[in-house]
Every structure is written in structure tokens, then in C-alpha cells.
Amino acid sequence: MSLLQQLVDANHILFHQGVLDAFGHVSVRSETRPDRFLLARNMAPALVAPDDIIEFELDGAPVDAGDRRVYLERFIHGSIYRARPDVMAVVHSHSPSVVPFSVSRRNTLRPVCHMSGFLGSGAGLFEIRDVAGPATDLLITDDRLGRALADSLGERNAVLMRGHGSTVVAPSLKLAVYRAVYAEINAKLQTQAIALGDPVYLTEEEAGAAERSVEGQVERPWALWRSAARRAAGLAP
Ligand code: MN
């Protein structure tokens, strides 16, 4: 299946799994031009079709948008691809269980189960006030903010954006989708564990080992989620 069709599927899966709603987006680095990435035009992810995919330069300039509107926060994607040659796909979302961890002064997102070993090195925290002062709309609307976000991500797999959402990265599109879904699940479980009191988190070593075991099986959830999203959209599974 072409990368473009996979990106369309990723949009539908992330909506159906409750990671994206009308907002948020998923991108993939171009296979032929590593200095470019693919991202939908400005629209709800569940409605994306192949004709809606646009190619972008890493500074956020569209290559072939024509008269199609582009996402305000496209700079998130290009800035991370520029800073992280290992990253092949990026998901930016406002997935609801993760947002509280972006504003909590006491608790940071950490892996509570083996399915979220990719959080073993923790999540970065991006505080937009440090870069652009106390009166922004919290969005990443230019390359300067994108670079600052990429700095906060560092070498980790996720970065929380205070009062806004989160961004998850991976070495493939399927893994980025997997990690975005499980970042949301982990946040829900971690909130429950904190309510019960004093959770035990995975060690970095456990997280790394679990990540290697589970992520080798990414085709299984991808096939399930793709089929479920296509059925929900009235398409042939
Ligand atoms: Mn956003």
C-alpha cells in the first residue's frame, strides 16, 4: 500500500480511536525527499481522502497546495523532522487524557504498563510562555515556535504542550499511530493509578524491553484499527 494511502488510513484511525477530533494532525516524512513531509490540507482528519494530502518543505512551506488551505500548526512537523533525522512520522493531538499531564505541577506522564514502554524516557514539556510570553494563543504557528518545541522534545518520543496537547514521534507511520493511541490510554491508566495512590512505574530498562517486544507487533493493532475505522466510515474493510 502506498505511503499516501497509509497516511489517509492513519487520519481515519486516529479519529476513530479518539486521539484526533476535528483538530490535530498526522504527518509522514517523504520516502523520496527526506527534506519534505506529507500532511493533509486544513480539514477534519476523519474526512481526509488521497486528494487532500499536500507535500511540505521542512520550514512549513507547501510545495503543491494550490488553493487548498493548510494547517496553522504545520510547523510542528517540519521542525521535528529537521531536528530528528530518525523520526519518520509525527502525530499532534489534543487527546483529552494527556492534556491534564501538561498542566499538572506534581505529575508527569510516565509509563504505567508494558504497552507504553515508548514513554520510558518520559515526555518533554513545552512551555510556550518561556518562548513567546504570557499572551499567546498557545499554538505553534511559526518556525521559531516549532524549533523551540523540537528542543523540548529532545531525543524523547513525546512532548507535552502546556495547556494545549501533545506531540508523539516514531520511526514509522504505523508506530506513530500506535504511540499516539497508547499515550492516551497510558494517561487514562496513570490518572486512575494516581487516584488509587502512589503508583509503581516501569523502570527505564523495563520500558525499553517492553517497547522492543510490543512494537514488533505493530501490524496487529494497525490491521484491527484500520478495519474498524473503515467499517465505521461505511467502507469495505
Ligand atoms: Mn494543536
- In this predicted model, what pLDDT tens digit does every residue of 56-93 receive, in sequence order? 999 999 999 999 999 999 999 999 999 999 999 999 99
Q: So what's the pLDDT on residue 237? A: 77
Cα(53) to ligand 1 centroid in Å equals: 19
Question: β-strands 165-170, 25-29: how paired?
Answer: unpaired
Cell numbers 484500520: residue = 226
**What's the CATH fold of domain 3-232?**
L-fuculose-1-phosphate Aldolase (3.40.225)
Cα(197) to ligand 1 centroid in Å equals: 31
Angle between helices 219-232 and 173-196 in degrees, nearest 10: 90
Average pLDDT score, the chain: 97
Helix (H, G, I), strand (E, B) or coil at 168: strand
- Helical H segments across the chain, by residue range: 3-16, 75-83, 99-103, 129-132, 143-153, 173-196, 204-215, 219-232
Annotated catalytic residue 73:
yes
Cα(23) to ligand 1 centroid in Å equals: 7
Domain edges within the chain: 3-232
Cα(173) to ligand 1 centroid in Å equals: 19
Say if residue 134 is exposed, middle or buried (CB neighbours under 10 Å; 0-12, 13-18, 19+): exposed
Q: In this model, does residue 156 exceed pLDDT 80?
A: yes
* Distances from the Cα of 68 to the Cα of 49, 130, 140, 159, angstroms: 13, 33, 20, 29
pTM given for the model: 0.97
Q: In this model, does residue 207 exceed pLDDT 80?
A: yes
Quick one: pLDDT band at residue 234, thresholds 50, 70, 90? confident
- In this predicted model, what pLDDT tens digit does every residue of 8-66 receive, in sequence order? 999 999 999 999 999 999 999 999 999 999 999 999 999 999 999 999 999 999 999 99
Q: Do residues 14 and 20 lie in contact, with contact meaning Cβ atoms separated by under 8 Å?
A: yes
Quick one: pLDDT band at residue 235, thresholds 50, 70, 90? confident
- Active-site residue, selected from the candidate residues 31, 55, 73, 155: 73
- In this predicted model, what pLDDT tens digit does every residue of 99-154 receive, in sequence order? 999 999 999 999 999 999 999 989 999 999 999 999 999 999 999 999 999 999 99
The number of beta carbons lying within 10 Å of the beta carbon of residue 3 is: 17
